[in-house]
Every structure is written in C-alpha cells, then in structure tokens.
Amino acid sequence: MPVAVVAPGTEPVVNELLEPITVSSQETRLWQKLGGRWQHVHFHRS
C-alpha cells in the first residue's frame, strides 16, 4: 500500500529581472514498499 507525504516547501528561483527570490509550494510525495525497500513512485508540487 502506498504512503503519501505532504509537506510545505520553499525553492530559490530567479525572477524575470534575474533577481533571486524564494517561492513557497505544497509537495506530495508518494512512496511504496516494493521488494522490501521503500521506493519513491510519484511527486506532485502545487
């Protein structure tokens, strides 16, 4: 059975004026145990 982890995130980017800014986002990472090991199987950011 997959397990979802939802967490806020921030990421440094450069805007159209080439100035560094930080943007906030929400991330969902889906993990599933395959062959006895946890595997990252999906990622979504909004």
Q: How many CB atoms lie within 10 A of CB 32?
A: 13
Domain of residue 8 covers 3-45
**What sign has the CA pseudo-torsion 46, 28, 10, 37?**
negative
pLDDT single digits (tens) 6-31: 788 888 899 999 999 998 888 888 89
User: 3-class DSSP state for residue 42?
Assistant: strand
| H/E segment holding residue 41 | strand 37-45
The pLDDT of residue 45 is 84
Cβ–Cβ < 8 Å for 25, 45:
yes
Q: How far apart are CA 31 and CA 46, in angstroms?
A: 18
Q: How many domains does the chain have?
A: 1
